Amino acid sequence: MNMKKSWIVWGIVIFLFLAVAMWLKSGYNNMVTMNEGVSGQWKQVEVAYQARMDKTKNLLEIVKGAANFEKSTLQAVMEARSKATSIQINADNLTPEKLAEFQKAQAGFGSSLGRLMAVAENYPQLQAVQSFRDFQAQYEGMENRISVERRKFNEVVQAYNTYIRRFPNNLLSGMFGFDKKAYFASDEKAKDAPDIKF
């Protein structure tokens, strides 16, 4: 009778050990998969921003060639582009501070590029250049793609953050070093609606 109880106890211990091992394996693998999803979507965000950078490099050359173009506006865009391209973030270290720095640089570049496009409307010789018109046509699409990739990134980050913070996954995430990722936030200026005056 004692021998039978011993086998039952060992069977329960082995079953519990296997259940915990399966839970650890499943939870860890899900976190790795979701973390890779965040990294992959971050790369898509970078690709969208890089496409804008690549296209604007050509735009800046076109604008430089326009006679009497406002040099200060062009210089501001070139400086903002340089600053935005200098900030690199590793997908494994997406802290709120680093993402805010990246976002600030990209917003500065986007703002200066928008001013350049607005000022360019006053230069008929620039408007006549086919490559400038092509860029104008592609500009909205580039900005839309950036917006879409940022939204997708926030969705993937939300799923990841929720998963690692829920019990009992929060025990695993702390044990294996899976940290919360930062979101893209709206620009502070976007909260202030422009005043419309007639």
Q: Which residue has the higher pLDDT, 127 or 89?
A: 89
Query: CA-to-CA distance for 97 and 63, rounded, in angstroms?
Result: 34
pTM of the model: 0.74
51-62 pLDDT tens trace? 888 888 777 777
The pLDDT, as a whole number, for residue 70 is 67
Q: Which fold does the domain 31-183 belong to in CATH? A: de novo design (two linked rop proteins) (1.20.1440)
Instruction: Please give the single-letter amino acid code of residue 118.
Output: A
Q: Provide the mean pLDDT of the chain.
A: 82
Q: Is pLDDT larger for residue 43 or for residue 77? A: 43
The secondary structure of 51-92 as a DSSP string is: HHHHHHHHHHHHHHTSTT--HHHHHHHHHHHHHHHH----GG
For the chain, give every domain's residue range: 31-183
Number of H helices, E strands in the chain: 6, 0
Q: What is the pLDDT of residues 126-155, one digit of tens each?
A: 766 777 777 777 888 888 899 999 999 999
C-beta of residue 35 within 8 angstroms of C-beta of residue 160: yes
